[in-house]
Structure 1
Amino acid sequence: MSFQAYLDTIQEKTGKTPSDFKELAEKRGFTQNGKIHAGVKATQITDWLKQEFKLGHGHAMAIYALLKGKKPD
């Protein structure tokens, strides 16, 4: 599955776009100005995504990669 396919599936499941997740991560204090705060672990972000949005581990990691700066294909 391509990175973009992960993002498309996440959007279908949650109704949230990649931009929405970036905004939500900033509101939760995980990021600032588009960068993940030093000391924020991937597990903190993936646990949030799994709990709040019922994402599986792979899909949560795709959002983490997005927040780290990976661009869609």
Structure 2
Amino acid sequence: MKRLFYIDYPQEHFEGQAHRYRCAYCKQETTHINGKLEGHLPGCEYRVALENAGFECNQLAEPAHEDMADEVD
């Protein structure tokens, strides 16, 4: 099974940061997770629970090339 986005994980606020959040389990920042199951660390309780329930990571997806976003084709 797959979902378009995995956003139902518990989050916690970065102390002293107004708009930064992270997974309460693996501590990965939400901007790194980007709604993807593979954005969580392999040992993350949330990721392990969903993988055990039959959800799949999209391991073959290429990472976004945000460093090249302003370049012209």
Q: Same fold (TM over 0.5)?
A: no
Q: Which has the higher helix share?
A: 1
The structure that has the greater radius of gyration is: 2
Bigger relative contact order, structure 1 or 2, given CA contacts below 8 A and separation 6+?
A: 1
TM-score, normalization by structure 2: 0.30
